[in-house]
Amino acid sequence: MNEEAANEGLVPKSDCLECFNIKNNDKVVNMKLPIENRKYSKEITAENDGEEVSIAGWVHEKRDLGGVFFLIVRDREGFAQVTLHKGEVDRELFEQARKVPRESVVAIGGVVKGEEKAPGGYEILPERMEVLSAASHVLPLDTTGKVGAELDTRLDARFMDLRTERTKHIFIIRSRVLNVIREFLVDRGFVEINTPKIVSAATEGGTALFPISYFEREAFLNQSPQLYKQMLMASGFDRVYEIAPIFRAEEHDTTKHLNEATSVDVEVAFVSAEEVMKILEELIAFVYSKLALYPDLNSLNLQLEVPKMPFMRITYEKALELLLEAGEQIEWGDDLSTSAEHILGERIGEHYFITDWPRAIKPFYAQPIEGKDTCNAFDLMHPRLELASGSQRIHSYELLKQSIESKGLGIDSFEFYLNAFRYGMPPHAGWGLGVERLLMSMLGIENVREVVLFPRDRRRLTP
RNA sequence: GCCCGGGUGGUGUAGCGGCCUAUCAUUGAGCCCUGUCGAGGCUCGGACUCGGGUUCAAAUCCCGACCUGGGCGCCA
């Protein structure tokens, strides 16, 4: 375990609470805590023996042994045991602790006692306790891990699901992954951009869009920042990235699709597809190597193995050959089926790229390979699912126009985009990577909904 | 959209025509217990998704609706 990784980012630098008014049992309590001493559970050790501290958190468990009563308080960092000896503490305080419903929010002030018998090596002998918010019971799900809950139940009560260790850590990991991606890209001279999510027309074709009403006009939620990040290639920002939601109105109903997902989009000028593939695989390896240091992955039932570099590259044609050997026939020009992806994944067993795709199944902006029906596009595959796709882009205005027309798309709705190709557009390439898919493949999680706080799928629009 | 499963206390489950006044665990209420760490022991409370149908009898079989898990398709 790595000490730095264990602490980094989990503990905030300062606290801002000083005094707060709380409504408790219909009477407003003006409570002042010795906030200068308020600590997270993990910040306290046996070495603080004798010190006054304050903690605040949720009542995780209560253990009533008659003469001694244990209150386990959970905060973001872990658990603190509060121990009350009958006869030694104030009777009212003892009763208050005994009666407080589980998962209520409490603030407790007391003295630290180093105690080998206590989990964490210390316990708190309380002097005062405030119930800041009493929880109703019974609870919508169990936060202690004794009884499981189905994903649907968990998502309905996500706020409470996030109080469980595994779920909490998944989202801390998600946050870290996004940070690490930014760190990697910024180090390489990338500029973060923000492009519109409300757009006037279908950007790439292919997927269905969510129509919305935009004053007196119809508009859509954007399926991808593709056209905008390309337009920026004409601006002099020659390395850009965006991490943002994308919207797809497909009625798919699987464990790896969402109607609102997060995409990492990268676009680089003056380079080839091979260059951006390198950036992509290095990024993946970097994210893995950073997150491999995350503590307690195993106890959270999460797995993470740093992939070997460089990733294997096979052409679309080679993929078809491998599939045929395995008894799966795909016609040249057809996209790979789910079972085909699984067969390839099993044969290769690690991340790999599929390159040189037929033009017909890739978007209009992919650069055709001269004299062939293929284009300079690639998919990054994980053995279980597709993670990213990208290509060398067409940067010639005339060729791009032709390509749009040959796909049967209306030139008019692309005018704003095409314009950027008329006044000096460098060659460029890029890709889009699904954040949720990266996370689920990285952590061995089966359902994409697990890695989104409030997922949007075919049926779910709340919470 | 297609094909298979499934809907039983708050949660997770057993039961799959009569033996169901429905099992077990956990949660909840209460009691006993001075070192718990999935504490233990005792008492009590709490459920068959909805609507039709078959049958002497339906949680159990059939039909429909709704919800839900998985596979596929579409898609990234």
Contact A276, A229 (CB under 8 A): no
pLDDT reported for residue A204: 63
pLDDT reported for residue A207: 73
Nearest protein residue to nucleotide B73, judged by CA and C1' positions: A252
pLDDT reported for residue A30: 44
The mean of the pLDDT values for chain A is: 88
A138: cis peptide before it, omega within 30°?
Answer: yes
pLDDT reported for residue A208: 81
Q: How confident is the model at residue A329 (pLDDT cuts 50, 70, 90)?
A: confident
Q: Is there contact between A52 and strand B, defined as CB under 7 Å from any strand atom? A: no
Instruction: Name which of A16-25, A322-331, A395-404 the model is least confident about.
Output: A16-25
pLDDT reported for residue A13: 30
pLDDT 10s digits, A341-359: 999 998 998 999 999 999 9
Contact A293, A306 (CB under 8 A): no
Which is more confidently placed, A327 or A396? A396
pLDDT 10s digits, A24-67: 343 334 445 545 568 999 999 999 999 999 999 999 999 999 99
Q: Taking residues A175-197, report their average pLDDT.
A: 96
Burial class of residue A61 (count of CB atoms within 10 Å of its CB; 0-12, 13-18, 19+):
middle
Q: How far is the CA of A208 from the C1' of B53 (A)?
A: 42
Q: Taking residues A91-107, report their average pLDDT.
A: 94
Q: How confident is the model at residue A2 (pLDDT cuts 50, 70, 90)?
A: very low
Q: Is there contact between A147 and strand B, defined as CB under 7 Å from any strand atom? A: yes
Q: Is there contact between A265 and strand B, defined as CB under 7 Å from any strand atom? A: no
pLDDT reported for residue A408: 83
Q: Taking residues A154-159, report their average pLDDT.
A: 94
Q: Taking residues A426-441, report their average pLDDT.
A: 95
Q: How far is the CA of A297 from the C1' of B40 (A)?
A: 32
Contact A147, A139 (CB under 8 A): no
Q: Is there contact between A204 and strand B, defined as CB under 7 Å from any strand atom? A: yes
Q: Taking residues A181-200, report their average pLDDT.
A: 95
A98 membership: H or E segment, kind and range: helix A91-99
How far apart, in Å, are the Cα atoms of A409 and each of A187, A228, A254? 38, 18, 29
Q: How far is the CA of A145 from the C1' of B8 (A)?
A: 22
Q: Is there contact between A83 and strand B, defined as CB under 7 Å from any strand atom? A: yes
Q: How far is the CA of A1 from the C1' of B11 (A)?
A: 34
pLDDT reported for residue A51: 92
Q: Is there contact between A258 and strand B, defined as CB under 7 Å from any strand atom? A: yes
Q: Taking residues A144-169, report their average pLDDT.
A: 92
Instruction: Name which of A170-174, A235-239, A284-288, A413-417 the model is least confident about.
Output: A413-417
pLDDT 10s digits, A308-324: 889 999 999 999 999 98
Report the amino acid identity of residue A204. Answer: E
How far apart, in Å, are the Cα atoms of A2 and each of A5, A295, A296, A376? 5, 7, 10, 41
Residue located via tokens 């699987």 = A254
CA A71/CA A121 separation, integer angstroms: 15
Terminus-to-terminus CA distance in chain A, angstroms?
A: 36
pLDDT reported for residue A456: 92
CA of A260: nearest nucleotide by C1' is: B76
Q: Is there contact between A261 and strand B, defined as CB under 7 Å from any strand atom? A: yes
Q: How far is the CA of A92 from the C1' of B39 (A)?
A: 24
pLDDT 10s digits, A246-294: 999 888 888 999 999 999 999 999 999 999 999 999 999 999 999 988 8
